[in-house]
Copies of this chain bind each other. A is one copy, B any other.
Amino acid sequence: MSKYDAIANLHAPSALIGVEIIDGIGILTLKNRRKLNALRRDMMRRLTESLESFAEDKIRVVILRAEAGMDVWSSGHDITELPRPGQDPLPYADPLEETLRAIRAYPGPVIAMVHGSVWGGAFDMVLSCDIVIADESASFAITPVNLGLPYNTTGLLHFVGRLRENLVKELFFTATPIEAKKAAEYGVINHLVPSAQLETHTMEIARQMASKAPLAMAAIKEQLRVISDYQPIAAQVFERLQDLRRKAYESADYREGIAAFLEKRQPAFKGE
């Protein structure tokens, strides 16, 4: 398993992730405790590379988790890494976007195992996993309107495939976390289990899936991905939507949102 060690050592300390294979199940562990598992570029690149290695090694099922003992599953984007003002903050080539696509295109199930709070882009990452197993400490918030950051269409599609439209809107427009019980009721979580059983229950389901026919699973997953990710939109309409997004990320409000966040104060938005 030296290949995975190699990946582990390749990157800056902030990229801290664990890469293991247990009982044939690939396990990716976010373990940058100091940065609350912020989805930093180097960490994202390591996740993407690890998924590629797993795929080459025909690992049938992957579990994505945070290190044991953390109360924050992930704090989402690292705000200090967002592109400079006036640039699209969620471009196609963003390392997080690449990781989301790598999870969605992985030729086997990827299970999010969630203990603790999940913020912003990390919620998108959890929804990009095929199923979600969580304990009662889990909570989920999607927070771009706190910053003035205009989310992108594919990101919104990730939510729309999972949650009713009015719930998607409530989550996005209030930026308020939902607790585990509500999240289970709303369908974010497949299995809500007691904390003590989270690991065993997740491994059990992973092993069950790993015993099924991999090529059939891969074909089914990929068809579902196309159905959900490839929603067609008229070119002209899409260019209009990009314009709305651009107005937002070029606005004074977006600068104010970032500044307020860094200064740990409430932002004062003007709609400009």
Q: Which A residues are within 8 Å of any B CB, using their own CB?
A: 58, 60, 86-88, 91-93, 101, 109, 127, 130-132, 144-154, 156-157, 160-170, 172-176, 187-188, 190, 205, 208-209, 211-224, 226-248, 251, 253-254, 257, 266-267, 269, 271-272
Query: Are the C-beta atoms of B169 and A213 separated by less than 8 Å?
Result: no
Instruction: Kindly provide the distance from the CB of A83 to the nearest chain B CB, expressed in whole angstroms.
Output: 11
**What's the number of copies of this chain in the assembled complex?**
6
Q: Is the CB of B215 within 8 A of A150?
A: yes
In the complex, which residues of chain B have a beta carbon less than 8 angstroms from the beta carbon of A266? 211
- The residue that A247 contacts in the complex, of B215, B238, B241, B254, with Cβ under 8 A, is B215
**B130 pairs with A166, CB closer than 8 A:** yes
A87–B249 CA distance with the chains assembled, in angstroms? 12
In angstroms, how far is the closest chain B Cβ from the Cβ of A193? 14
Instruction: Check if A165 sits within 8 Å of B213, measured CB to CB.
Output: no
* In contact, B212 and A269 (Cβ under 8 angstroms): yes
Contact B157 A235 (CB under 8 A): yes
Q: Nearest CB to that of A152 among chain B residues? A: B239
Q: How far is the CB of A207 from chain B (nearest CB, A)?
A: 11
Q: Do B164 and A220 touch (CB < 8 A)?
A: no
Contacts A156-B227, A233-B235, A269-B211; is A145 near B216 (CB within 8 Å)?
yes
Decide: A243 and B92 in contact? CB cutoff 8 A. Answer: yes
Residue contact A216 to B248, C-beta cutoff 8 Å: yes
Nearest CB to that of A143 among chain B residues? Answer: B212
Of the candidates B145, B151, B236, the one whose C-beta lies within 8 Å of that of A154 is B236
> CB distance A148 to B227 under 8 Å?
no
Bound Cα distance from A173 to B190, whole angstroms: 13
27 contacts between A and B (CB under 8 A): A91-B242, A91-B246, A130-B166, A131-B169, A146-B213, A148-B216, A149-B213, A150-B215, A156-B223, A157-B227, A169-B224, A173-B220, A213-B253, A214-B269, A215-B247, A215-B253, A216-B248, A218-B248, A219-B247, A219-B248, A223-B244, A223-B245, A226-B233, A227-B233, A230-B235, A233-B234, A242-B242
Rounded to whole Å, the gap between the CB of A142 and the closest CB of chain B is 10
B156, B165, B167, B175: the one within 8 Å of A212 (CB): B175
List, in ascending order, chain B residues with CB within 8 A of A223's CB.
Answer: 151-153, 156, 241, 244-245
